[in-house]
Chain A
Amino acid sequence: MKFTLSWLKDHLETSAGIEEIAERLTSIGLEVEEVFNPAAALNGFITAKVEKCEMHPDSDHLHLLSVNNGTETLQVVCGAPNVKLGTIGIFAPVGVVIPCYNEKLTVGKIRGVESFGMLCSEKELCIGEDHDGIIELPSDTKIGVPAAEILNIDPVIEISITPNRAECLGVRGVARDLAASGLGKLKPLEIKKPVAKFACPINIRVEAKEACPVYTGRYIKGVDNTKETPKWMKDRLSAIGLRPISPLVDVTNYLNYDLARPLHVFDADKLKGDLVIRMAKEEEPFISLEEKEYKLDSKSLGICDDEGVQCLGGVMGGLSKGCSDDTVNVLLESASFKPECIARTGRHFQIDSDSRYRYERWVDPNSNIMGSDYAASLILDICGGEASEIVVRGEEDYCAQPVTLRYERVKTLAGIDVSKEEIIRILTALGFKLTDKGDAVEAVSPTWRGDIEFEADLVEEVVRIRGLDSIPAVSIPSDEFPKQTLSPKQQRILNARHELASRGMFETVTWSFTDSKLCQPFRKGKAPVLLMNPIASELDEMRPSILPNLLIAAHNNIARNDANMALFEIGPEFYGCRPSEQGIVAAGIRCGMSSKKHWLKNERAYDVFDVKADALAAIAAANGPWENAQITTDTPEYYHPGRSGTLRLGKNVIAYFGEVHPLVLKSYDIKERVMAFEVFLNNIPLPRSNVGKAKKKLELSSLQALDKDLAFVVDKNVAAVNVVVAAKNADREYISDVRVFDVFEGGSLPEDKKSIALSVTFQPKDKTFTDQEIEGLMKKIILEVAKKTDGILRQ
């Protein structure tokens, strides 16, 4: 919402300057976005008088002037048609910046004659639209005076209006708020009632009373729309960015911004038959004045004649019955429409207009006649003609429900002491009708406010005008010992994050969206969760896994020549479109070499066992029983089928790890191998909270443990874990540890065999082992491994 200072002062009597006004606007909730003061750009510009005016020797339209700026007389070449001897104007000396061109003025040479400065038009100074000639000041104007002091410069203020303050979409509403805050006095609104010369010749009928409670029409005949809109009105409209068009359009625009009162003007000669306000029919066509075609529906309100919908009520006028330069007779509409209907129509057909913007927030339902009177009298003043009686359909009888404010509520809700008298003063100044009930006041909100429903709304009005800065700041009391801030479920996310970072991985945050064209393999058979209105085609699906985005990140980093990376993210992935069909996952990738080239040659390519270690570390950090997880080689299709694994607890998958499938990498345009893991934190059971915190008692044996090595030949497809588990389970009492220390294929072994060498630790309990006992234990292992894996001891 923009307005100029002089416009504001039409409604507000105040001695406050622009800065004070701006500061107050912000403090009462009308936040100032910008103050544009053209005077600030006029430093150096001064008044000057033309003391000699001759024709340029080489031109039939340029003048050669002697200009006196109060201190010296300079030669100036001037092209303005209105310049003459004795003209006093605004002189720009060499060196100043002309606001309109944003260029520094230099000594010019125009058709061989030097020019030391220029006389300016309004437009060149950015203070008006006039560019037909230079500014002509009254003949008694002093010369050599700064331009900003002489010109009637009107600064523009732009404020942002929150949706609840519809009345401040008109300058008068802003003025009223400022007056209530004590920054001046609201001037009375004086509107001439136009004389009714005849009865309105058009029948007006409202069928959709729900959507249009009040409709007024007034016929004005014999207008001349080619007349000039008054300069003051044009200047104000231009200042707020509205192009003056014709008096009829300008008047309606002006009232929109002056009183937040939308209006519409039909060319009455184009209307056929009665004017009917009704809901549109399904598929009924409408062409807007922006020449766009719409197929309406039964929820949109039409202002119609015999030929169909001519105006989308409260939203936008139609093309065929609008005004033009030839318009002679008009019908002026001033009406009330239901905000819900306007909002729905505007949203449905995606039409934005100043009118919709106001109606869907709130337009004073009792301002129809006043608005019609005001607009009609302006039209008659500018364009001439005669007005009919006003036709009013419906009653201007809106009255808000009273809201009760207990005086103490300002203190108990807002925490500030405001006296009863002050509360009454503020609400009265804002236009509320008050009835004092002793401890409380009953307030009926003015018809221009549609946002006051509750006691809290009235408290806000009081503290807003009073200023929020006057509320004391009181720390919130802490009478109870605080509970744990993070739940165990939340804390373990932090643990996993810090664990993965301490393993040398970089945490990243990527979109929750991903590219549906690339992530099909990651959906694990589920339907994609697509956005109805994605912001970009490659961000159109809620990610079924974090990995697609990490692969995109990998691709981008490789493209930046950063090919070695260890990245992880902990965040949501989505497996359905309903709320809570999501899980929290810690996922990571490793790609390239473990380090850069080094003299110790410790660099190597990342492999599956790096990400397996990451997955196990993340599970452990999240309190997951990582040692008990079963490991299998069935993994989703985006993993390398021979180089990936699944970790399960019971039937729940708690992690996948492995090399990413080369075809998936190809679709992400990645040529390097990428290792990946995903830990599904939701599937890790939380530790039982009722278990005591004491650690298990440490049992230390004074007897030395004994290590023995055993190598087994098994089929190539036997998983090492099965051999290890078989060995471990051979004797649960004395075998304390089994490690794989060598895996070997080829050589003397048959093609389909491999050798797995184990190092087994035997821990005696109460006496050292005899040779026979050791022999017995080893035999147990050999038998068990043979039973479970068909493995044979390698001799």
Chain B
Amino acid sequence: MENLKEIEESVLQNVNNALDLRTLDEVRISVLGKKGSLTEKMKSLGLLPLEEKIAAGKVLNVLKSTIESAIENKKQELEMKAINHQLANERIDVTLPIRSETQGRIHPVSKIYEEVVAIFGQMGFEVAEGPDIEDQFHNFNALNMPANHPARQMQDTFYIANPDSTDFDDSFVVRTHTSGIQIRTMETKKPPIRIIAPGRTYRSDFDATHTPMFHQVEGLVIDKTTTMAHLKGCLYDFVKAFFEIDDIKVRYRPSYFPFTEPSAEMDIGCRKGKGELKIGEGDDWLEILGCGMVHPNVLRAGGIDPDEYQGFAFGVGIDRLAMLKYGIPDLRTFFESDLRWLKHYGFLPLDISSMTGGLSNNGGLAR
């Protein structure tokens, strides 16, 4: 057993000299493997008398654990070295740009639709709809605009021939407003009614401030007790919520619409500067919507008794609201599908308008 010291020294030296995990393992096998030198020594213990066996066994076990722990330490050192080597080789330039992802956009018209729905939803309104191609009854006559009514000329109407009649008065129209939905709602619903009717509307007019198609939202409230004071309150609540300005100035001017009586137009206070418009400040006025108490003839046309029920209606331009709130200068650009415009003025997919989560700027930042 005198050469144990030598074995220990040479093994530890081999362990120490191992340059990689494979060499280290060869060392381990040569000493501790089935036929390893130390294993052989352990086997030979059996031939010794009992007392010697115990003493020699102790010595060998101490040696074995010394070698094992040396190998383990070396192993950890080599593993660390290997991983460091790998990491050093895997270095990349993280300042390079990310894979390009296109973030989609929501059109401003849709965004305003969602905002308007959120606000009026809070006031208990439901959204009603109607067809874009209308009969003259729903677009005009039922709204107290018979064929010879001068107000009909105020709306440059698009007509579509009726295959069942050559009479011009039977031809269809592309709706000039969403007001016809008032009638369609009254025909199918009993009061109390609280609806808004957003949608596309059409007039034969195309210049710097008019497009042949635009968007309107019509509102209708019918019950037994609603007055013009409620009309003012409702619209004031709306513009405050919509423009997200607490002390917005408003004024009402008497006006005329065939389907309301009394009728009014609502202006909001603003400052008109050089190509700029600031809502909620200044001494200028900007017309924003038309409104009034529903005309008895309209209630009657919708099958509702005007002696029992009353209410108000209003109409506001969705595109115009978008222009005012989000500073979009030109109406015509809304419908040009210019990718640069859509990217700039469009809204993010996460931009969902609600009265709980906020109307605007709640979809994060554009990437």
Contacts and interface: CB of A to CB of B under 8 A. Distances in A.
Interface of A: 26-29, 31, 162-165, 339-340, 343-344, 347, 360-361, 411-416, 454, 456-457, 459-460, 463-464, 468-469, 471-478, 480, 482-487, 490, 494, 497-498, 500-513, 529-536, 539, 542, 549-550, 552-553, 556-557, 560, 562, 565-567, 571-572, 574, 577-582, 595-596, 598-600, 602-603
6 contacts: A412-B227, A474-B227, A476-B194, A579-B130, A599-B97, A603-B100
Given A475-B230, A512-B132, A577-B172, 14 more contacts: A415-B227, A416-B229, A454-B295, A463-B254, A472-B233, A482-B124, A486-B121, A498-B350, A529-B160, A535-B158, A539-B212, A553-B336, A553-B337, A566-B102
Q: Among the interface residues B103, B131, B162, B254, which one has the most CB atoms of the partner chain A within 10 A?
A: B254
Given A415-B227, A507-B342, A531-B159, A490 B133 contact: no
A532 B335 contact: no
A507 B252 contact: no
A413 B172 contact: no
A601 B255 CA distance: 62
B314 interface: no
B253 A577 contact: no
Contacts of B310: 413
A553 B99 CA distance: 27
B254 A532 contact: no
Residue among A478, A487, A498, A553 with most chain B CB within 10 A: A498
Interface string B220-245: 01000111111011101100000000
Residue from B109, B123, B150 with most neighbouring chain A CB atoms (10 Å): B150
Interface stretch (B31-39, B58-66, B259-267, B276-284): B259-267
A460 B262 contact: yes
Contacts of B96: 599
A457 B334 contact: no
B115 interface: no
Query: Residue among A411, A454, A501 with the most chain B CB within 10 A?
Result: A501
B254 A413 contact: no
Interface in B87-125: 96-97, 99-107, 109-110, 114, 117-118, 120-125
Contacts of A487: 126-127
A518 to B, nearest CB: 16
Given A471-B229, A494-B114, A535-B204, A504 B255 contact: no
B228 A511 contact: no
Interface string B144-179: 000111110110001111110000000110100000
Contacts of A416: 228-229
A457 B260 CA distance: 10
Given A579-B138, A595-B100, A460 B261 contact: yes
B361 to A, nearest CB: 16
B281 to A, nearest CB: 20
Nearest to B211: A511
A497 B110 contact: yes
Contact of B261 (A412, A457, A566, A567): A457
B171 A456 contact: no
A562 B340 contact: yes
B342 A511 contact: no
A484 B121 CA distance: 8
Given A506-B342, A511-B213, A498 B349 contact: yes
Contacts of B227: 411-415, 474
A320 B363 CA distance: 72
A571 B161 CA distance: 23
Interface of B: 96-97, 99-107, 109-110, 114, 117-118, 120-127, 129-135, 138, 147-151, 153-154, 158-163, 171-172, 174, 194, 200, 202, 204-206, 212-213, 221, 225-230, 232-234, 236-237, 251-256, 258, 261-265, 293, 295-297, 310, 334-340, 342-343, 346, 348-350, 352
B227 to A, nearest CB: 3
A106 B48 CA distance: 134
A490 B129 contact: yes
A475 B122 CA distance: 12
A472 B229 contact: yes
Contacts of A477: 230
A510 B349 contact: no
B210 to A, nearest CB: 10
Most B CB within 10 A of own CB, among A162, A344, A480: A162
Nearest to A31: B253
Contacts of A578: 133, 172
B339 A506 contact: yes
Contacts of B154: 163
A413 B263 CA distance: 12
A506 B346 contact: yes
B100 A596 contact: yes
B334 A468 contact: no
Contact of A531 (B160, B253, B335, B340): B160
A460 B263 contact: yes
Contacts of A539: 212
B273 to A, nearest CB: 20
Contact of B338 (A29, A557, A596, A603): A557
B148 A339 contact: yes
B62 to A, nearest CB: 47
B150 A475 contact: no
Nearest to A531: B158
A475 B226 CA distance: 10
B132 A572 contact: yes
Contacts of B135: 579
A493 B172 CA distance: 27
A602 B104 contact: no
Contacts of A464: 254, 262
A110 B33 CA distance: 124
Contacts of A485: 117-118, 120-121, 125-127
B106 A473 contact: no
A557 B337 contact: yes
Contacts of A513: 212-213
B98 to A, nearest CB: 9
A400 to B, nearest CB: 16
Contact of B256 (A27, A29, A344, A529): A29
B258 to A, nearest CB: 8
A367 B158 CA distance: 38
Contact of B131 (A463, A480, A529, A579): A579
A163 B256 contact: yes
B104 A532 contact: no
B366 to A, nearest CB: 12
B206 A535 contact: yes
A507 B350 CA distance: 14
Contacts of B147: 344
B307 to A, nearest CB: 10
B262 A463 contact: yes
B334 A413 contact: no
Nearest to A163: B150
